[in-house]
Amino acid sequence: MHEGASCQRNLPDFSLKPIDYTWIVMNLVLASSSPTRRKILQQLQLPFTSCSPDINESPLSGETTLDYVKRLALEKARAVSNQHPDSLVIGSDQACSLNGLILGKPASAEAAVKQLKMCSGNWVEFQTGLALINTRTHKEHVTHDSFRVRFRNLSTEEIRAYIELDKPLDCAGCFRAEAAGISLFESLEGRDYNTLLGLPMIALVTLLKEEGLNPLLAAAP
């Protein structure tokens, strides 16, 4: 783990039902400090540790959006994997683009206004990279999922009101779909809504099962 990284243990609400985890020999680790990704992973009702990876997220020269998010997802998982033997380590990264232009996290409210004006009335595509590392066998999986959103035609007044409401300056695409950001959209297109939020759960469950962890059987009472 890189210097300065921190981990947090996440457990299901055991008051809901008794769950026996004694047969689960592989630990689950989420290489992310994102509260949204932690909340998404909690849907599986499995215990996991979340760790903040310390990596350089600058894109490489000539790198496509898809290559970028897949590379960062794997680098995030690798950044914390050395400190977690006998674990399944999850890494994920997301980028959004408008007509091939990558839209980063806005640095200011004015930059956010400009970005959302660009998105107004247009389709914006999200690419989310996903990596899973088995630290026992050192096997690495890397995949991705896509999601598209079509923005409503937004007035400057609506855009400024939204930015003040959700304060999404730290978000790719400059919105929080899990909050008031849903009001910005006219339609959504994709197989997994969680991909839009930053952690493709359908793809993740497939990878976990390939590594011998069936979330339904593991979480069953």
The residue from 86, 93, 145, 166 that is catalytic is 93
| CB 127 within 8 Å of CB 115 | no
**Domains annotated on the chain, with CATH:** 7-13+22-216 (3.90.950.10)
Q: Which of 44, 58, 22 is nearest to 90 (CA)?
A: 44
Least confident of 23-32, 149-158, 168-177, 211-220: 23-32
Q: Does residue 152 have a pLDDT over 70? A: yes
Q: Flag whether pLDDT at 153 surpasses 60.
A: yes
Q: CA triplet 171, 175, 176: central angle to 5 degrees?
A: 90
Phi first, then psi: what are they for 123, rounded to 5°? Answer: -85, 135
Instruction: Give percent of the chain with pLDDT exceeding 70.
Output: 90
The rounded Cα 30 to chain-centroid distance in angstroms is 10
Mean pLDDT over each residue of the chain, to the nearest integer: 89
Q: Is 93 a catalytic residue?
A: yes
Instruction: Report the pLDDT value the prediction gives residue 17, as an integer from 0 to 100.
Output: 47
The per-residue pLDDT for 88 is 97
Q: What is the mean pLDDT of residues 186-209?
A: 97
Cβ proximity of 143 and 202 under 8 Å: no
pLDDT score at 12: 59
- Residue of 127, 220, 221, 219 lying closest to 173 (CA atoms): 127
- Taking only the tens place, the pLDDT of each residue in 111-126 is 999 999 999 999 999 9
In this structure, are strands 27-31 and 87-98 parallel, antiparallel, or unpaired?
Answer: parallel
Q: What pLDDT digit, counting tens, does each position of 6-52 carry?
A: 687 776 554 444 444 433 458 999 999 899 999 999 999 999 999 99
Please tell me what DSSP assigns to residue 60. Answer: P
pLDDT at residue 100, rounded to an integer: 82
- The pLDDT of 153-176, averaged and rounded, is 93
CA 129 to chain centre: 8
pLDDT at residue 6 in the model? 67
- C-alpha–C-alpha distance, residues 149 and 124, integer Å: 5
- Write the DSSP symbol of residue 192: -
pLDDT at 25: 57
* Tens-digit pLDDT profile for residues 70-110: 999 999 999 999 999 999 999 999 999 998 888 888 989 99
pLDDT for residue 105: 86
Strand-pair partners of 142: 131
- Residue 3 confidence (pLDDT) above 50: no
β pairing state of 87-98 and 123-134: antiparallel
